[in-house]
Chain A
Amino acid sequence: GAVVSQHPSWVICKSGTSVKIECRSLDFQATTMFWYRQFPKQSLMLMATSNEGSKATYEQGVEKDKFLINHASLTLSTLTVTSAHPEDSSFYICSASARGTNHGRNQPQHFGDGTRLSIL
C-alpha cells in the first residue's frame, strides 16, 4: 500500500526556533500534499495544499510567512514553522495523494504518522 513517512515524530524546542518537518511518499509519486494541524480533542484542520513545483495554497487564517511549505519533488514536501512560539505547539500531520487516472475522481489521501511539536 501507499506509505507516507513523516519526520521527525516529536520535536521539543525553545521559543523563537524554526522547525522543519518532512513528509515523504515512499512508494508513489505524490502530485499533491496536504498539511493539517490538530489540537487536542479537535478535528484535523487543513492548513495548506501543495502541488509539486508550484506555490502552496493556504487556507484562510493560516499565515504563509509563518508556515513555509516547499514541495520541490514528487516525493517530498516540507513544512517549516518559522520563529515558533508556544501557541504553535500542536500535532502536525501531512498527507499525500498520487498522480492518478481515477477517472477524474479525487485520489485518496495517505497520511503520515504526524509530528508532535512542543515549543517551550
Chain B
Amino acid sequence: KQEVTQIPAALSVPEGENLVLNCSFTDSAIYNLQWFRQDPGKGLTSLLLIQSSQREQTSGRLNASLDKSSGRSTLYIAASQPGDSATYLCAVGQGGSEKLVFGKGTKLTVNP
C-alpha cells in the first residue's frame, strides 16, 4: 500500500528566504507526482505535475524534482513571499487507476 510522507509538518520562514519541502513515497511504481497548494478552508490548486519519466518541473519561483528510484520529491520555493503561506500537499498518481495518494501536507508560514 502506497504511503506518502511529508516533512516537515510545519515550517515558518522570513520573507525572501529560499526553502525546500520534502515528500517521500514507499512504492516507486508511480505514474506521476503532483504538488498542490491548499489555502485554509479551500480546495486544492495544482502547482506542478511531474510525470514518472521526468526529473523536474518548473513554474515561476517553484521547482519540483522527482527521484523515483529513491521515492523522493522536493518542492523548492525561491524568494518566498507572505502570499506563499498555505499548506502544500504532495500526491502520487498510481498507474492505471488515476487514483491519487496524498501526504498530510506541510503548513508554510512566510513572515513579512
Residues of chain A touching chain B, judged by Cβ–Cβ distance below 8 Å, are: 4, 6, 32, 34, 41-46, 49, 91, 93, 95, 97, 105-114, 116
Question: Which residues from chain B contact A110 at a C-beta distance below 8 Å?
Answer: 46
Taking CB atoms, residues of chain A closer than 8 Å to B104 are 41-43
Q: A43 near B89 (CB under 8 angstroms)?
A: yes
In this complex, the member of A34, A91, A93, A105 whose beta carbon has the largest number of chain B beta carbons within 10 angstroms is A105
The majority secondary structure among interface residues of chain A is: strand
Q: List 30 A-B contacts (CB under 8 A).
A: A4-B43, A34-B99, A34-B100, A43-B4, A43-B103, A43-B105, A44-B44, A45-B102, A46-B99, A46-B101, A49-B99, A93-B43, A93-B44, A97-B98, A105-B31, A105-B51, A106-B31, A106-B95, A106-B98, A107-B98, A108-B46, A109-B46, A109-B98, A111-B44, A111-B46, A113-B42, A113-B43, A114-B41, A114-B42, A116-B41
In the bound assembly, the distance between CA atoms of A116 and B43 in angstroms comes to: 11
Residues of B within 8 A of A (CB): 4, 31-32, 34, 36, 41-46, 49, 51, 89, 91, 93, 95, 97-105
A-side contacts of B31, CB under 8 Å: 105-106
By a CB distance below 8 angstroms, the chain B residues around A105 are 31-32, 51
A44 in complex: contacting residue of B32, B89, B97, B98, CB < 8 Å: B89
A109 to B98, CA, bound (A): 9
Assuming the contacts A46-B99, A105-B32, asked whether A112 and B51 have C-beta atoms less than 8 A apart, the reply is no
Chain B residue at smallest Cβ distance from A6: B43
Q: When the two chains form their complex, are residues A114 and B103 in contact, meaning their CB atoms are under 8 A apart?
A: no
Q: Taking CB as reference atom, which chain A residue is nearest B5?
A: A43
The 4 A-B pairs with the shortest beta carbon distances in the complex, nearest first, are A111-B44, A113-B43, A43-B102, A111-B43
When distances are taken between beta carbons in the complex, the residues of chain B under 8 Å from A106 are 31-32, 93, 95, 98
Please give, as numbers and ranges, the residues of chain B lying within 8 Å of A49 by CB-CB distance: 97-99
Since A32-B98, A45-B102, A49-B97 are in contact, a sample of 14 more A-B pairs with Cβ atoms closer than 8 Å, ordered by chain A residue number, is: A34-B100, A42-B104, A43-B102, A43-B105, A44-B91, A44-B100, A95-B44, A105-B31, A105-B32, A106-B32, A106-B93, A106-B98, A108-B34, A110-B46
